Structure 1
Amino acid sequence: MSTPRVYVIHENPEWFPPFAEAFAAEGVPVEEILLTEGQIDLAAEPAPGVYWSRMSASSHTRGHEHSKDYARALLGWLERAGRQVVGGSHVLELEVSKVAQHGLLAAAGFDVPRTSAVFGTTTLKQAAATFTSGQDVPFITKHNQGGKGLGVRRFDSLAEFDAYVDSPEFEAPVDGITLLQEYLTAREPFITRAEFVGGEFVYAVRVDTSAGSFELCPADACEVPQVIAGAVCEVPGTDAAPGAADTFTVRTEVTAEHPLVQQLRGFLAEQRIQIAGVEFMETTDGRTVVYDINTNTNYNPAVEASAPVSGRRSIARHLGGLLDAEYAAAPAAHV
């Protein structure tokens, strides 16, 4: 039987090297499961170890449109066999549905953006008119299965939106569900992403949005370089562009004792989510709005270099601890 190790399930090899370095630094044996193809012998037992699923909601944008379904099959097999899975089936379903995230956050008492989910495109223009009460007021769209800011656009009038829906530029959601959401204006030009590992707060990241006019520029919209309604977002988890060093910084005044952080910690524990980045915005009208849960969180290198604790190494340490507890691995096995 193979030596127990941490198995990391994902579909994007470009993001893994910094995590591989973190696992090596913590002395935790790790192996990738690249879920772009492969197979499962359903009569076999999974290899011993702890499995961390980091399946991305945006996998279809990299030509891996079936990876989400491969993950569903793999995670179910692992869970039925009794393997410990971090980010298991229930977390995957949350990751790929902003509707599910919104519902859970609202039910837990968080202030969330007013949102309408529209199925298909036939009624999309009428739904927008209903959402705005027929008024030309700003609103945004996003895709239910998001990541990378998919479908995130600002519209200032219904005519502008109608023209977009009818144009070749219309970006159809992969699952057919478009979200209409109220436009929020930040009190200051940034949003905050609170990172949690093993259910514990790691640090909060201040994401500067002053480079553009789109006030609700979420961190998932900043995972790739792109322009969204005039806002240029940099790439967390990769080298920042020249002059963008201050786009992502540690927000030191947000600590583990912060009331919202404590509320989020309890929420994640209740939902059995061990690793996540949760995004919120403090608005001009005094609200603190929570709007996104990222269960395949990335870490910005500038933040990692300046933060008192590393998010990547916290993950490696946490999963290594689970591995030791599960298999009573001797330190010598961590080489």
Structure 2
Amino acid sequence: MTLARSDAPAVYALHENPDWFSPFRDAFEAEDVPLVEWLLVDGVLDLDELPPEGVFWSRISASSHTRGHVRSKDYTRSVLSWLESHGRRTVNGRGVLELEMSKVAQLTALRAAGIDTPRTVAVIGTHNLPEAARSFPARSFPAPFVVKHNQGGKGISVRRFDSSAELADAVAAGELDEPEDGIALLQELLVAAEPTITRVEIVDGAFVYAVSADTARGGYQLCPADACAIDPVSGALLMPPGATIAPEPDQQLFRLREGFDHPLVDRYLDFTRRHGIEVAGIEFIETVDGRAVTYDVNTNTNYNAAVESVAPASGPGAIARFLGRELAAAYATV
């Protein structure tokens, strides 16, 4: 399948999961911004062909392989390299894609910016996890701790262990899947003062709003898109990994943090500007020992319908307006 083209300059959205895209499609229509979707699952890319005229917005997820789209990441790398070699305007482009694909890259960049992150050890090869875990006490990693994949999503790979011996038993029994890129993370277990995390939404260098997510019912699965809470086959509510209370129908796991004012917001805005991240949802935990610990940078951010209905501004709307402005600035005829 070749990539679709518009006869006139348009915004091209690079993604791999139609279940997540409806709110954006509606926002672009409402803002009257021309939109073409490139579903980067498989296809044909002619490197000798000129890209179409437009602005290209990447929202490929590190979790794409969990939906069977194992080629999407490398396909997107190729497409973005092709676009940028021709000088096309990309939003969350090639460099940002690499941050999305690696929690190691995110954590090291956050630490370099002076932002507190979880104490973490990267382990190449699942068989090395037990030995790495046994070194935790010397590294100020008291049990319990968590193991997660460097490339993950929706909490699928996250698992708590109460001792290095428990982890060793799990590895010996073959209970842990090999990470997509071969890198697993041993990470301190962050204990929240309240069973919530906060997600800060940023578009075009500006704070949009902050969301509180219920970790008792949401566990490690903190994707705010409504589709993330539903089993795609049965349509039933999912019991997320790490949840301690089963979610109930119509129960909201995500709430707007009204009047949110935290020093991290300005630090996140500076961080995203420095790294060329133009759309993001950044998550942190306020711990029992008084830390505010940032642990994830989502550059393919999704939005929750219930939060959007009461928020002072719309996340998808802000994106549609931002990309519409970029398109108008690049093409005088638009």
TM-score by length of structure 2 reads 0.90
- Which of the residues 68, 71, 75 maps onto 1:70? 75
Give secondary structure in 2 for the equivalent of 1:211. Answer: helix
**Which amino acid in structure 2 is aligned with residue 242 of structure 1?**
P
Query: Does the 8 Å CA contact 1:138/1:156 hold for their aligned counterparts?
Result: yes
Shift of 1:89: 0.6
- Give the Cα–Cα distance (whole angstroms) in 2 for the partners of residues 327 and 143 of structure 1: 42
**Which amino acid in structure 1 is aligned with residue 124 of structure 2?**
F
- Give the Cα–Cα distance (whole angstroms) in 2 for the partners of residues 73 and 188 of structure 1: 43
- Give the Cα–Cα distance (whole angstroms) in 1 for the partners of residues 245 and 76 of structure 2: 32
Provide Cα deviations, 1:226-253, integer angstroms capped at 9, x if missing partner: 432344687xxxxxx62412x1011013
Match of 2:222 in 1: 219
Matched, 1:44 2:57: no
Give secondary structure in 1 for the equivalent of 2:180. Answer: coil
**Which amino acid in structure 1 is aligned with residue 304 of structure 2?**
N
Question: Does the C-alpha gap of structure 1 residues 307 and 191 become closer, same or farther in structure 2, counting only changes over 3 Å?
Answer: same
Query: Does the 8 Å CA contact 1:190/1:210 hold for their aligned counterparts?
Result: yes
Give secondary structure in 2 for the equivalent of 1:178. Answer: strand
Provide Cα deviations, 1:82-112, integer angstroms capped at 9, x if missing partner: 0000011101100010000000000000011
User: Percent of aligned positions with the same letter in both sequences?
Assistant: 53
Q: CA RMSD in A?
A: 2.0
Give secondary structure in 2 for the equivalent of 1:228. Answer: coil
Match of 1:176 in 2: 182
Query: Does the 8 Å CA contact 2:145/2:186 hold for their aligned counterparts?
Result: yes
Match of 1:229 in 2: 242
Question: Does the C-alpha gap of structure 1 residues 136 and 28 become closer, same or farther in structure 2, counting only changes over 3 Å?
Answer: closer
- Which of the residues 159, 163, 173 maps onto 2:165? 159
- Give the Cα–Cα distance (whole angstroms) in 2 for the partners of residues 233 and 291 of structure 1: 24
Give secondary structure in 2 for the equivalent of 1:33. Answer: strand
Match of 2:313 in 1: 309
Shift of 1:220: 4.5
- Which of the residues 264, 271, 276 maps onto 1:272? 276
Match of 1:242 in 2: 249
Query: Does the 8 Å CA contact 1:118/1:179 hold for their aligned counterparts?
Result: yes
- Give the Cα–Cα distance (whole angstroms) in 2 for the partners of residues 218 and 101 of structure 1: 19
Match of 1:12 in 2: 17
Match of 2:212 in 1: 206
Query: Does the 8 Å CA contact 1:111/1:289 hold for their aligned counterparts?
Result: yes
- Which of the residues 116, 132, 135 maps onto 1:130? 135
Query: Does the 8 Å CA contact 1:136/1:158 hold for their aligned counterparts?
Result: no
Question: Does the C-alpha gap of structure 1 residues 233 and 29 become closer, same or farther in structure 2, counting only changes over 3 Å?
Answer: farther
In structure 2, the gaps of 5 or more residues are 1-5, 230-237
In structure 1, the gaps of 5 or more residues are 235-240, 331-335
TM-score by length of structure 1 reads 0.90
Q: Matched residue pairs, number?
A: 318
Question: Does the C-alpha gap of structure 1 residues 243 and 34 become closer, same or farther in structure 2, counting only changes over 3 Å?
Answer: closer
- Give the Cα–Cα distance (whole angstroms) in 1 for the partners of residues 267 and 47 of structure 2: 40
Shift of 1:171: 2.1
- Which of the residues 116, 124, 128 maps onto 1:119? 124
- Which of the residues 266, 274, 294 maps onto 1:290? 294
Give secondary structure in 2 for the equivalent of 1:124. Answer: helix
Question: Does the C-alpha gap of structure 1 residues 182 and 132 become closer, same or farther in structure 2, counting only changes over 3 Å?
Answer: same
Shift of 1:44: 1.5
- Give the Cα–Cα distance (whole angstroms) in 1 for the partners of residues 224 and 89 of structure 2: 31
